[in-house]
A and B are shown apart, each in its own frame.
Chain A
């Protein structure tokens, strides 16, 4: 790779807690760096020594096979020692507070802490109590920055740009940290964002985020470049937010008929795991316009980029080493 010839990209911050506060330059820098890791990940020899000697702890208070394994692989490919904390089996859930947990982990001198928690703001709270770099792997309904970055990388590789595209984010916006991070990132890079959902799944004052609000899928998808579907949690399907799975799929599930309202070359994304037949039809999920598998691949590359960029500013590392 050519990166040895120029100064490595760094983030001028210790933690990545959200897309909020990232500049367009920082986002683009991360995406450019991730491109290099996409190449690396497709080679037989996938390992780097960037994080050799570093300890990465994956602390997932909320189970997530996909994101956790993506971070694990990213750390290992960069040479870090990676430990997964199985929160469910430990004292962490038995009355120990988040701050106690932070103090305990901090005493183990990790360099990178990857945290997922069901409460908005919990990762920021934990980050204030530790000395290492913290990456938010999803906090409540607040942010999921690496998901937004991997979505952006996927879009950019397929469309060549983000600027000027129209992206429709569809489904349970209210409870979605993916939606929030994506809205922030897509706006930062100059895309138009629409949200499409039944009114019960739209957060209050969502229009003040600068998005176009639609309740009707057909109108919402009209002439869009990207359709981003969101997962609908099972407990919200039966009368509390929408009447039934059947009705939800009928009006808001993405099938081929609805997808035809988008641009002919529109692409379909989903952060996973999918509920086939609830928010997305299998024919679309597995169809020619789907980028869903590529998103998973980009996930590893983007997380390597984030780990790499943050590690450059860790103590003991010279920024240009």
Chain B
């Protein structure tokens, strides 16, 4: 990253904040000293001791200091769709949202299914992005669902997991072989669980509301059927499997049974499904058209409970920039997707503020747990580790203005939303990459 472009940043002392580190179940009032890009020490009263020359002291009273977020599912348009998002613009949005590591999806143009493209993305990110970026590679060549990619070589090139992004793999045989083969490289397979036939022309959650709006529905079973199949394949193969975005109680039951059986099965939920529901699409609002579709309020509550109890491992932004040409259309014709890098933490804090879960759980699911699953040295404030940090002002009330977002596209479902709590400073490898003033 930027280390190659400029000398290492001056030391920073984050003084007097509430330091919350899910990797150690730590929640204390302390100072955090950062120098040479790494966390040097954390204890109370560091400021009175001899600090390195030129240390910048940041007053973090009434602030929460957490490990920077690791967003496990973000689409970035580079290469091939730079009008939607570049690695640079996505990283600016990420930094403003406290995200210090982006895991980008392989459904670019060309598709990330070749080690040379993994290498390209990593180099572009190093040269243009202000946060860490790691690509997932395609699980099948061309994401066509037929032949597995070079999982070993792609891993060696730096792909952190394997997925066909928004495509579900119809063939159980292909997925079985991939799970079996990937074990050799301890590779994680991330799968979008959706039966394409059952989804059909569906554009929102199937049910009364879709019937009233005259929109084709997507049944919950389209997700659960595929996920249930996948869990059986995970049991057969003992491969490492991660469901990309679960949305409903039936899928959560399958997940619970898989975990109870000791399978290496984990799952994400998107911030959209945790904080919004199908009522938001009333008025044919296409910024709420996402895949899988927003479900009803009971589904949302079940998903939040599953996150609170640790059943859902990871919260993702599912960042998907779409320009107005593909969003300002009749609902059934509009593209799926919503941006989320910049708002996922603020939206997640709603769940903390309404008492649904504690901050430790939220940060674990947005940082520590995805880092563990992907084998990344992130998601922790342990001394000696890279200083990837977000500083949160938990009581700061604010109104989202989509025009102020840093993403190239403005398709946020949170325009004019009220939030309580925001990121005020983000550090990546010890350097402040975002500061709210």
Contacts and interface: CB of A to CB of B under 8 A. Distances in A.
Interface of A: 97-99, 117, 119-122, 124-125, 139-143, 177, 180, 203-206, 208-209
A265 B213 CA distance: 34
A208 B210 CA distance: 12
Contacts of A121: 213-215, 283-284, 330-332
Given A141-B214, A180-B214, 20 more contacts: A97-B325, A98-B329, A98-B330, A119-B333, A120-B215, A120-B330, A120-B332, A121-B213, A121-B332, A125-B284, A125-B328, A139-B214, A142-B213, A142-B215, A143-B214, A180-B212, A204-B206, A206-B211, A209-B208, A209-B211
With most chain B CB atoms within 10 A of its CB, the pick from A142, A203, A208 is A203
A208 B330 contact: no
Mostly, the A contact residues are: mixed
Contacts of B283: 121, 124
B145 interface: no
Contacts of A206: 211
A204 B210 contact: yes
B315 to A, nearest CB: 29
B211 A119 contact: no
B211 A120 contact: no
Contacts of A208: 208
A97 B213 contact: no
Given A141-B214, A180-B214, A204 B331 contact: no
A119 B208 contact: no
Contact of A205 (B211, B325, B330): B211
B402 to A, nearest CB: 18
Nearest to B325: A97
A184 B328 CA distance: 28
A129 to B, nearest CB: 9
B209 to A, nearest CB: 8
A120 B328 contact: no
A204 B208 contact: yes
B158 interface: no
Contacts of A142: 213-215
Contacts of A177: 214
B217 interface: yes
Given A120-B330, A143-B214, A205 B284 contact: no
Contacts of B329: 97-98, 125
B207 interface: yes
A168 to B, nearest CB: 19
With most chain A CB atoms within 10 A of its CB, the pick from B207, B215, B283 is B215
B137 to A, nearest CB: 34
B332 A140 contact: yes
